[in-house]
Structure 1
Amino acid sequence: MQSVAQFWPHNKVAMKVNKYISSVVFALISFHAVSVMAQSNDVISQVKETIKAGSAKELSKYLNQTVDVTIDDKVESYSKAQAEFIFRDFFKQHPANEFNIIHQGQSKGGQPFAIGQYKSGTETHRVFMKIKTVGNQQLVHEISFVKE
């Protein structure tokens, strides 16, 4: 088998080609990572607006088919439709005065997450959500509202 250097008379040319190929691969990987981050930021901002509005129906559009929901100390896994009813009741009992995302990022494995603060009357809930890529969509896989 012939080496790359045999096709090009100078090793400098082969090194430039390798460097160029490496740069293109790095750029493609970087573009993909930025694209995934932009999608997760977009989903988080959309979820933020639906929670602010207290709309369980709109929130359900961003939920995975199965979602882990924590309301105070009760942790359950629900279907998307069941979770919509749970959030409808929660928003009815605790109408939003204010909701803000106070931190967002990614786990070491690259899973996006966000932490927020939900205020209703005199109560404040800490909100935590994990985003998961399903197919080509970013969806909420886990969400919790825990009273502070």
Structure 2
Amino acid sequence: MKTLKQLLPFFVFLLVFGLSHAQSGEKDPLPAKVVEAVKQGDISRLSPFLNDKIELVLPGESGIFSKEQAHFILRNFFKDNKVTSFQILHHGTRQNATFAIGEYKCANEQFRMYFLVKTTEDGKSLIHQIRIEKQE
């Protein structure tokens, strides 16, 4: 069972951005190309959506990384954890930021993925944070 300390970042994340379930007619929180890239474990298709600096929190690795560093870290994650399915479970919006929570399944493991996406002044959606937590 997870301790409160382990779950605290998740609760803060939800508190700041407000949890809401996907509703019909509501704009998707992640560009369709991002969802497809994750479904295929394809970092080269995901990279264009990464901000120049991105916060990554993965099992065994966390910090703020350049887009290039994040590319290699995520490439290794996808290589080591071949996706069998990915779906968005929840998403919400607040001002110029959206978040999405998805379920990433592998052959023998399951992960919860959290994305924080901010829209730039020119209307481009960029990922500022990705959190990946192993589900037990």
TM-score (norm: length of structure 1): 0.68
1:77 to 64, 67, 70: 64
Instruction: Name whichever structure is richer in helix by fraction.
Output: 1
Q: How many pairs does the alignment contain?
A: 109
The answer to whether structure 1 residue 132 and structure 2 residue 123 are counterparts is no
Q: Distance in 1 between matches of 2:62 and 2:96?
A: 24
RMSD over aligned CA atoms reads 1.7
Per-residue Cα deviation, 1:49-76 (whole angstroms, up to 9, x for no partner): 1011111111111010000011125321
Higher relative contact order, structure no. (Cα contacts within 8 Å, ≥ 6 residues apart): 2
> Which one has a bigger Cα radius of gyration?
1
Distance (whole Å) between structure 2 residues aligned to residue 131 and residue 97 of structure 1: 24
Judge conservation of contact 1:43–1:139 (CA < 8 Å) in 2. no
Moved beyond 4 Å, runs of 4+ = none
Higher strand fraction (1 or 2): 2
Sequence identity percentage = 33
- Calculate the TM-score normalised by the size of structure 2: 0.73
| 1:147 maps onto 2:134 in alignment | yes
Equivalent positions of 1:1-148 (< 5 A) are 38=27, 41=28, 43-72=30-59, 74-107=61-94, 109-136=95-122, 137-148=124-135
Listed as ranges, the gaps of 5+ residues in structure 1 are 1-36
Conserved? CA contact 1:127–1:143, under 8 Å? yes
